[in-house]
Structure 1
């Protein structure tokens, strides 16, 4: 982990670290993970406590985030109207697949979950914890995103991301991973068959704008007992259709008016991904 230097960097580093876990963290662990002196970490935490971003538990002395960051995040996401315009497509895909549907957005060189819809009506339901960042090397969403990049950038980002998540499993051999990304790019959808989580299969596709910019991913995930090999092509077709619709709807959030309505394109106007 790189050394954090400036005051602003230190503040955000503390916030990002605490955002990884809802439980409280001891001072020594924060200082160790950020490679800071305990005295420096303590000063930063005191400042963050004073301005309402962090709170200290009275019984343990450990630190955790307040809900201020979550509230601001929800406020900003609502202001973008992204979930407003995309939600109907996600709900349609969830109903069609009868499995969990999730959407993530590209943030820098990472993916961040922003929305999910549970489509399973009975039996086993895959309902993962809604953490912020998407693991790139092992998830269908991550591989769908990486497949839109050059091989050099994809490998670099995947390796860095694996280190950030503290994963023991590497993406080696690199050649095999590159071949998987090439196949993903060719068919326009990615699959994670119990790679990210035992017993879970996920199929994802990138959300791409007309100019070719990848802005996010959408996926269907569920128990491997239901998402069997026989269903992969069918589910992938539905995911691709949803990704294409989302790609056309994405820019419309800017035209979302104060009454909460917009002119969506007709279903027939949606262009499918081409292999």
Structure 2
């Protein structure tokens, strides 16, 4: 009986691993690449993909034979997000920051040990408009949002999570050594906000603050991002101050979504 449970758990874990990989890549992938990235035999990966295709989570492109997610995951994610009423409560505050900064404002929430984008407001009224690729997962070690979140954790956890996220300090030019990365997180923690200056994307600067509740729990991050030509060093402190103020407002509003649920019920 215990052996049967272990087999079922293993199959479920593998199926979710396939879904997560395809969600992170956000593009069609060949069977061999999926098997390699998940450290699976091609036959095992093929079985997983066949099951996921049968139940409507994955589809295979007829011409290339590559695999990609269907829209089912995105639809369920939107349904869940709508049910939490989180964006309903937070959207007006994000719009205020977007209007004040005249740049793109985004909010991410903590999911396990990573961040997921859930809302954005474009505040740029003219000229260049930063419009990033719509991917759910936040790259922690090289984005302002990721560093703002990591700065609220212990050094050991921050490094472990950064490595598990797939971008390890010392492995990419923009990050430098582990020591340099930890020093940056320490500085980020002390001032309360993080910055990514062309680390995640060329020509783009982002400033982010963690959303931390009264009990010390960090539940998300909020950021302002735009072209480096506009988000110059002279603006950093002012934008950071606005982001910190917005993060504090969001922290106060966070529990309201639960009251909203009770009121609706």
Task: Normalising by structure 1, report the TM-score.
Answer: 0.88
8 Å contact kept, 2:174–2:199: no
Point out where structure 2 has 5 or more consecutive residues left out of the alignment.
1-8
Counterpart pick for 1:110 among 90, 111, 114: 114
Q: 1:220 to 1:153 in 2, by over 3 A?
A: same
1:1-275 maps to which residues of 2 (within 5 A)?
6-163=10-167, 168-169=172-173, 171-257=175-261
Q: Distance in 1 between matches of 2:201 and 2:167?
A: 18
Secondary structure at 2:165 match in 1: helix
Secondary structure at 1:6 match in 2: helix
Give 1:170 shift: 7.2
Moved more, 188-197 or 23-32: 23-32
Whose helix fraction is larger, Structure 1's or Structure 2's?
2
Secondary structure at 2:255 match in 1: helix
What are the superposed Cα offsets for residues 186-232 of structure 1, whole Å, 9 maximum, x if unpaired?
Answer: 11111111111111111100001111110000000000100011111
Q: In structure 2, what is the equivalent of residue 267 of structure 1? A: none
Q: How many residues align?
A: 254
Give 1:258 shift: 8.1
What are the superposed Cα offsets for residues 126-146 of structure 1, whole Å, 9 maximum, x if unpaired?
Answer: 100121111111111111111
8 Å contact kept, 2:84–2:261: no
User: Which 4+ runs in 1 deviate beyond 3 A?
Assistant: 167-172, 257-260
Q: Distance in 2 between matches of 1:69 and 1:205?
A: 29
Q: 1:11 to 1:138 in 2, by over 3 A?
A: same
Task: Normalising by structure 2, report the TM-score.
Answer: 0.91
Q: 1:132 to 1:169 in 2, by over 3 A?
A: farther
8 Å contact kept, 2:141–2:167: no
Moved more, 246-255 or 178-187: 178-187
